[in-house]
Amino acid sequence: MSWAAAELSTIDLGDERLNARSVLLAERLSAKPGASVPGACHGWSETQAAYRFLSQSRFDWLDLLAPHRERTLERMGVQSVALCVQDTTELDFNGQGIKGLGPLSDEAQRGMYLHPTLAVSPSREALGVVDAWMWARAPKGADGVRPGGKESTRWVEGYSRVAELAAELPETRLVYVADREADLLALLVRARELGHRADYLVRASHNRALPEGRKLWSRLEAAEPLGELCFELPAGKGRKARRVHQQLRAERVALDDRCGGTLAVTCLVATEVGAPSGVRPIVWRLLTNREVNDAESAAELIDWYRARWEIELFFRVLKEGCRVEALQLAEVERIEKALVLFLIIAWRITRLMRLGRSLPELDAELLFDRQEWQAAYILNRKKPPKRAPTLNTVIRLIATLGGFLGRKRDGEPGVKTLWIGLQQVREFCEAMQFVQELGDLE
């Protein structure tokens, strides 16, 4: 069974043919993630069937996400903590005649917004997408005001959905994780209303005034450090890799809840000390309902917040690897259905990359079929072993096809070399299958 067939095994679109089509299309799109729909499908009739599938009105994108969501809940259920990371990304479809799009942050650009909830384990394994919001903005009216509800609601509603999910996962503590945009009093109040059925951990954006008259930041600056944290910061845009030392401080504070009372929140601050001169020290200020009493629990929360990076990586796979912004479909409802398939495909690539690092000794056959890992050897001009190799070995071989050099300083492969390599493996497997079919015919 292909990975897509396993992941979508419980799909129910109300018709067996539609169910089968969803699996086939997921397989085709994942074999050539960057290609167009006709480029990924085999031939014209399959392409037409794909377009018909995406324009179906008998099911919506949530039905398509449902089986993956179920598998994701299973993966979450065996974790003691699951981070539910949310973030928004803009999808730019400018210049394409797609019905139902709206303006983007640049009012002249056209596209839509995507706000998924990606579940991630504390060791950063992407567990899957449990929820998503997709919307297009209405253009501003003549008065310069945009009609419709406040967009910031998505963060608050997003928290509520995570809290609802908690009931389905009694063995797992869910932690809602989001960046500065989610520093909303309404979210903190909602979490209290729901009895903190899920924890929240958001990056603080506002230097809020405390009821005692002081400001939040200065109150934290005056606190005794709990301890220190050290981590390796990888090289980034115009930035060298360096070892970062941060001092940790936390205080339980009371915020004015603007409903006549106060709200108890922990503010956690990690401040870089001894940053090289000319470099802006790294400072994170986080808000959480969890109590932090020692350096260990503070460091754990910082580590969980850093796992938010996985959703950025996931967006990168979605946009650069799957090139979803190049989708040419007539209506936004069709885009949404295709996007769900690509969310699942991008999740798989992100997860493979991490598992190759965190569980290098895993049996490769748990994630690839035999033909696939053998192809990874053959395409590298190596003889495949008799028994299944480890996941790390196969990931490195696949990434090598995508340009990974494997020198000591290169570390472990990233997502890009992996998605390029995966495509070559799939093409090879399909060609081999065809050769076999030819043989059967003769």
Which helix (H) or strand (E) is 288 found in, with range? strand 283-288
Task: Name the residue nearer to Mn ion (CB basis): 98 or 114.
Answer: 114
Binding span for Mn ion by CB under 5 A among 62-70, 105-113, 176-184, 301-309: 176-184
Closest CB to Mn ion among residues 313, 394: 313
In the range 46-75, which residues lie near Mn ion by CB under 5 A? Answer: none
CA dist., res. 243 & res. 234, Å (int): 9
Encoded one letter per residue, x for contact with Mn ion by CB under 5 A and - for no contact, window 74-93 reads -------------x------
Q: Which residue is it, tokens 């400072």? A: 283
For residues 206 and 152, the answer to whether their CB atoms sit within 8 Å is no
Residue among 380, 403, 314, 427 at smallest CA distance from 393: 380
Minimum distance, C-beta of residue 202 to Mn ion, in the bound complex (Å)? 11
Residue number with CB closer to Mn ion (315 or 347): 315
Region at 217 (left for phi over 0; alpha for psi -120 to 50; beta for the rest): alpha
Of 13-21, 177-185, 261-269, 389-397, the segment contacting Mn ion by CB under 5 A is 177-185
CB of 267 to Mn ion, least distance (A): 20
Residues whose CB is less than 8 angstroms from the CB of residue 37 and which lie 6 or more positions away in sequence, other chains included: 29, 47, 50, 51, 54, 327, 328, 329, 338
Q: How far is the CB of 220 from Mn ion (least distance, A)?
A: 23
- Residues of span 210-249 touching Mn ion by CB under 5 A: none
Pick between residue 131 and residue 179 the one whose CB is nearest to Mn ion: 179
* Subset of residues 110 to 169 that bind Mn ion, contact rule: CB under 5 A: none
CB of 87 to Mn ion, least distance (A): 4
Tokens standing for 297? 């629990």
Of 205 and 371, the one with the shorter C-beta distance to Mn ion is 205
User: What is the nearest approach in angstroms of Mn ion to the Cβ of residue 178?
Assistant: 7
Distance CA 289, CA 196 (A): 8
> Taking the complex as a whole, how short is the minimal distance between the CB of residue 122 and Mn ion, in angstroms?
21
End-to-end CA distance of the chain: 26
Which window, 77-85, 94-102, 172-180, 414-422, contacts Mn ion (CB under 5 A)?
A: 172-180
Tokens of 368: 């690839």
Q: Please state, in angstroms and rounded to a whole number, the distance separating the CA atoms of residues 166 and 173.
A: 7
Rounded to an integer, what distance in angstroms lies between the CA atom of residue 295 and that of residue 248? 7
Check binding of 310 to Mn ion (CB under 5 A): no
What DSSP designation does 402 have? Answer: T
Beta carbon nearer to Mn ion, 309 or 434: 309
* Near Mn ion by CB under 5 A: residue from 179, 199, 310, 336: 179
Task: Work out how close the CB of 179 gets to Mn ion at its nearest, in angstroms, rounded to a whole number.
Answer: 4
Minimum distance of Mn ion from residue 321's CB (angstroms): 20
| Nearer to Mn ion among residue 154 and residue 416 (C-beta) | 154
**What is the total residue count of the chain?**
442
Nearest approach, Cβ of 311 to Mn ion (angstroms)? 9
Measured from the CB atom, is 156 or 250 closer to Mn ion?
A: 156
Using CB under 5 A, count the residues that bind Mn ion: 2
DSSP readout, 309-369? HHHHHHHHIIIIIS-GGG---SBHHHHHHHHHHHHHHHHHHHHHHHHHHHSTTSBGGGTS-
Cβ proximity to Mn ion: between 178 and 341 the closer is: 178
Which of these, 333, 316, 345, lies nearest to 414 by C-alpha position?
A: 316
For Mn ion, the closer CB: 179 or 336: 179
Instruction: Using alpha carbons, list the distances in angstroms from residue 64 to 157, 338, 366.
Output: 21, 9, 24
Burial of 244 (0-12, 13-18, 19+ CB in 10 A): middle
The nearest distance, CB 45 to Mn ion, in angstroms, is 42
Residues that bind Mn ion (CB under 5 A): 87, 179
